[in-house]
Structure 1
Amino acid sequence: SAAGWWAEGITSDAEFVGAIQHLIKIGTIQVDAPGEAQVEDPRMAELQEQLEACAQYAKAYQRLDCEDAVEQQITRLQYETEAVPYRVGPVIYYYPGAHLEMTDGGQPLLTIRMLAVNDGTDNITLSCTGPAICNYDVTDGSFAYKYASTDFTSGSITIKPDDAEEFEMVFGPNIGYGGTTFVYDPAKEYHFRINESFGSASILLDLE
């Protein structure tokens, strides 16, 4: 085990800490806040067993493929149990909260990461080909802000039935191509807007 190797001096302190952080991230180790008792979801325990079983594969690519598939299921379960769901047509968007930070130069950076689950029977495509042509933006009620970066591949993400895809959008400096510079005013209320062909939604962002 990682603890045994660390105790015997086989792994360094940094490697041991990294291993513990990874186990916490995937849910193998549960960290409770003071005074709180946490009950582990039996589905998570089952997925953790499946993840450990991936070690049986002798070939690295088979083991990595196995781990990747199970970790995707773990990510989906974490979103479904911890994030707020918003149904837009056949797609359920899980919103865990936004992250706002300031650069050294004073530029606010707003990061939104979500999981989209296709709850329908046909393939669904999320579209965002560029800042000026994107079905997702942020508004303060009077101005629409376009993204500064996103992980949409080739301007779209296709999701098969009962499948899920995680995506991220960052709003900040103007990158051109019809983009905008994100401005944060704590006195204003911000919404993340979805305007796809299959439906629309406006999600209130918790930026306090």
Structure 2
Amino acid sequence: MDHHDTDTTSSRRRRASAPVLIALVLGLILATSGGAVAGKQITGKQIKNNSVTGKDIKNKSLGLHDLKLLDVDKLADGILPSGKTVIGGGILSGNAPSDTLYARSYSPLPFKTTVPLSYNNPRSIYYGQTSIAAPGESNTSRCSGSDTNPTASPGTLCVYISGSTTNAGNQSFIFPGANASPDAADSTGFYLGVNTPTTGEVLVRYTWAYTAP
């Protein structure tokens, strides 16, 4: 046998085996590093703020132990989180047999305000722009919305008239709770009242908005 040919063949085999060996080593390195990355724990520092939404969390996977005790108490009491706005509406309807009728409409709230609503200083319940409100009952800076887009500044309940009959007059008032004076319902409802200047049907439609402070 020609020794030259044998040496040449061995050299070719070594050269052919080198890429295979390199590929095997790289494969082992990648497999090892991949396992390390997969097993590495992701912390809050690696998650961008406000990037995880409710749909990314498994339903019914959170418990009361995942919430602050103060937040749990607020939820149990039906208190809104700060900055949350709730919108609703109501109707005052009736028939005025005389022009001295004072008609009222009570609206319960589907939540409990953080601080009881107040008619006195600091007042926190107003009409928006309307022609039926008595002097001092409207505040267009804190209630700058409309009946189709009701808004309220933080800590304020705003009422917007969406329609009214002529005998609703221009002396309408709005109070927290179920009484003109403070009562236990000041955090759970309000009412509006109109002095009818003429007899007949009285109808007032309104929307309201409340923003938690």
TM-score (normalised: structure 2): 0.27
Which of the two has higher C-alpha Rg? 2
TM-score normalized by the length of structure 1: 0.28
Relative contact order (C-alpha < 8 Å, sep 6+): which is higher?
2
